[in-house]
Homo-oligomer: A and B are copies of this chain.
């Protein structure tokens, strides 16, 4: 069973008859950990690039997090083996690696911690993981309770995997003084120039115990023996062997002996993480475990509480109550949390892609606008003098552009006004336009206003003779890398997106009193829209682009990649599509792209390489960009639908983005409704068996746009130069809803209700009708009570 806990603090997976692979994640300023219901875990921290302290058993490639990465027997994990000392029977909490399906089982994914409750054979085990608000460590509580009606004797073995730390140097031993297992390694390198980088790495992994263990084992091979990780031979012995690891794979395994009377319980606390040296572990021990009885100061508990506050600080600006409980829970609890995670950690990258950085920070406009503001200025400070934006934004002095950021993409500029507009709507802080920011690597400076003009002008000039924007080696779609690598191919989507960006920028200019400039960009938007309609309207929908060899693609005569979602939604946003075109493209999307799990990015998915389109056509059909329900694309479309007043369509698709609840959905999609993944497997018409599966990746530009859909669209509580513009687009099926909106320091409480006799939306503040739906003259700390009357079937 899957359900939200009573106070919505957790999402709970309870007593399944088969074990899914759902996961939750925690993060802080310095690290991220994804733990799944079985006990597997992926944790990364920054030094400055992502690093691990619990490794795979083989040499793992350093790369971005992989979609749908399978778990396997020796996957890193945090396990508690339990052995009944009377009969030798063994199970492990939470589930792996022994895989005894417990009699009772709950996996409770919370915002600031994640818990498992396991009942098996008269013993209750409760495991809780949380993080401190900074620092890189896992704080674990393990509670064991005797719920059988007799005295019981158990051994409990926390076994936290460390894995193959390094081929250069790895070892591990129990440190009596620290009461910790300390595993040491040296990050391999071959060039002496890298020594300076690695010498200060936190290459040790430790498991620090509050309570003195009965015994321990640090040598993974000695621990497992021939029994294997699922039935370790060492557990057959009275005591673990107190072994060490010398250039052998270490494990942090401890043993505690428990004699528990009926209903007696005992709690243990552990800290697991990386460290530079023993001194650092000693300091952590002092801070979290020592002195607590003498001074009453409990560093561990305080850290837990601090972390709870840290996460709570990331709440959004909406609190909703609607007939859709699943949506309420996602919007009130999980969505802002995921958005906050993006804004705080920048996806644990030192060089986030520019478009990601801007969109992730767009989301921070709804949580901590100052963070968004700083980020926009930081990004612009890396703009080139010619107006173009780099492919990634460097966040750390030692960082460099890596992976995909070494491939030139042409869309980064469009995100500047688009993302900025959300910030301006939310804050009305037009002063940002006057901020003076340098260009990349130079002493020359310009105002934000000038910077963005330059960016827009770069888009105007990076075009072919028809007025279509060059795609080079990719636009928003990274792997569309061979459409224009010869320098001729163009992106239909980017041309449309440019039109939309010009329109948005024209609007911002106008509101800022720059009327002439506003006019210029309005005209540019119109021109671009004309060009789109001239070259890319295929009769029933818009084409995706034109290749280096002048072949239009994403059109009806293509057998694969016939229709692309982004080309349709953005033509609604930019205004390129007229009413007839709109009707046609809506129909085409519904017929060809919509699936039970959302709207797909393109269809039919490519099943073989198309060399004039590129890498996207080689990706697995239904995966990532090749026909997946790629939520980032889907949400643009939903946003466009709201913009176009297509509220029923929009809500239907929005709703498909939230998984579950329900075990069937978790088994198919593989996740709880605690985050929106970057994609669900698509190609529904081609490979229905696997459609709907979650990528399990929670890094995605989707989330800030989902939030923007709620603010600007569904609940229609968007900021405006004049105040709060209230124009909700509730689905017909909702007869009422309420929204608490934090806005520019005020609280706005909105009750929405359909009423017979009402013919169009009526907005009242304290009983007074707001004729244009705009709440004006908003005062800080004020409370506004808004009543919205809606007609039925509007």
CB contact between A59 and one of B61, B220, B226 (< 8 Å): that residue: B61
Residue A127 lies at the interface, judged by CB distance under 8 Å to chain B: no
Given A404-B190, A620-B169, the answer on whether A164 and B247 have CB atoms closer than 8 Å is no
Residue A473 lies at the interface, judged by CB distance under 8 Å to chain B: yes
Across-interface contacts of A614 in B (CB, < 8 A)? 192
Given A192-B485, A615-B195, the answer on whether A246 and B59 have CB atoms closer than 8 Å is no
Given A60-B60, A61-B62, A168-B619, the answer on whether A190 and B72 have CB atoms closer than 8 Å is no
| Interface pick from A63-71, A152-160, A208-216, A318-326 | A63-71
Across-interface contacts of A615 in B (CB, < 8 A)? 168, 189-190, 192, 195
Across-interface contacts of A481 in B (CB, < 8 A)? 190-192
Across-interface contacts of A169 in B (CB, < 8 A)? 618-620, 623
Nearest-neighbor residue (CB-CB) of A402 within chain B: B190
Contact with B along A617-632 (1 / 0, CB 8 A): 0111111000000000
Nearest-neighbor residue (CB-CB) of A225 within chain B: B18
* Docked CA distance A403–B194 (Å): 13
* Docked CA distance A590–B77 (Å): 46
- Are A168's CB and B620's CB within 8 A? yes
* Docked CA distance A689–B73 (Å): 28
Please provide the chain A residues from 169 to 186 with a CB less than 8 Å away from any CB of chain B in the complex: 169-171, 186
Please provide the chain A residues from 397 to 417 with a CB less than 8 Å away from any CB of chain B in the complex: 403-404, 406-407
Nearest-neighbor residue (CB-CB) of A245 within chain B: B690
CB contact between A622 and one of B60, B74, B247, B622 (< 8 Å): that residue: B247
Contact with B along A187-229 (1 / 0, CB 8 A): 0011110010001000000000000000000001100001011
Residue A99 lies at the interface, judged by CB distance under 8 Å to chain B: yes
- Are B618's CB and A246's CB within 8 A? no
Residue A333 lies at the interface, judged by CB distance under 8 Å to chain B: no
- Are A73's CB and B622's CB within 8 A? no
- Are A690's CB and B247's CB within 8 A? yes
CB contact between A690 and one of B69, B72, B246, B403 (< 8 Å): that residue: B246
* Minimum distance in angstroms from A618 CB to a CB of chain B: 5
Residue A283 lies at the interface, judged by CB distance under 8 Å to chain B: no
Residue A3 lies at the interface, judged by CB distance under 8 Å to chain B: no
* Docked CA distance A189–B406 (Å): 12
Across-interface contacts of A228 in B (CB, < 8 A)? 73, 99, 230
Instruction: Give the number of residues in A that approach B within 8 Å (Cβ atoms).
Output: 67
Residue A360 lies at the interface, judged by CB distance under 8 Å to chain B: no
Main SS class of interface, A: loop
Across-interface contacts of A195 in B (CB, < 8 A)? 482, 611, 615
Residue A114 lies at the interface, judged by CB distance under 8 Å to chain B: no
Across-interface contacts of A57 in B (CB, < 8 A)? 70, 72
Residue A609 lies at the interface, judged by CB distance under 8 Å to chain B: yes
Residue A681 lies at the interface, judged by CB distance under 8 Å to chain B: yes
Nearest-neighbor residue (CB-CB) of A19 within chain B: B226
* Minimum distance in angstroms from A731 CB to a CB of chain B: 33
Across-interface contacts of A620 in B (CB, < 8 A)? 168-171, 246-247
- Are A69's CB and B61's CB within 8 A? no
Nearest-neighbor residue (CB-CB) of A249 within chain B: B70
- Are A73's CB and B70's CB within 8 A? no
* Docked CA distance A690–B245 (Å): 9
Contact with B along A42-59 (1 / 0, CB 8 A): 000000000000001111
Please provide the chain A residues from 341 to 386 with a CB less than 8 Å away from any CB of chain B in the complex: none
* Docked CA distance A662–B135 (Å): 51
CB contact between A191 and one of B69, B220, B406, B690 (< 8 Å): that residue: B406
* Minimum distance in angstroms from A299 CB to a CB of chain B: 31
Residue A248 lies at the interface, judged by CB distance under 8 Å to chain B: yes
* Docked CA distance A712–B492 (Å): 74
Given A73-B73, A168-B619, the answer on whether A690 and B248 have CB atoms closer than 8 Å is yes
- Are A618's CB and B70's CB within 8 A? no
Which 5 residue pairs of A and B lie closest in terms of their CB atoms, listed nearest first? A73-B73, A57-B72, A72-B74, A169-B620, A61-B61
Q: List 21 A-B contacts (CB under 8 A).
A: A56-B58, A57-B72, A58-B69, A59-B63, A66-B167, A69-B167, A74-B74, A169-B623, A171-B620, A186-B619, A190-B407, A190-B481, A191-B481, A192-B482, A192-B615, A195-B615, A246-B620, A246-B622, A247-B620, A247-B622, A247-B681
With A57-B70, A59-B69, A246-B622 already in contact, 8 other A-B pairs whose C-beta atoms are closer than 8 Å? A72-B73, A73-B230, A168-B615, A170-B620, A186-B618, A191-B407, A191-B481, A246-B621
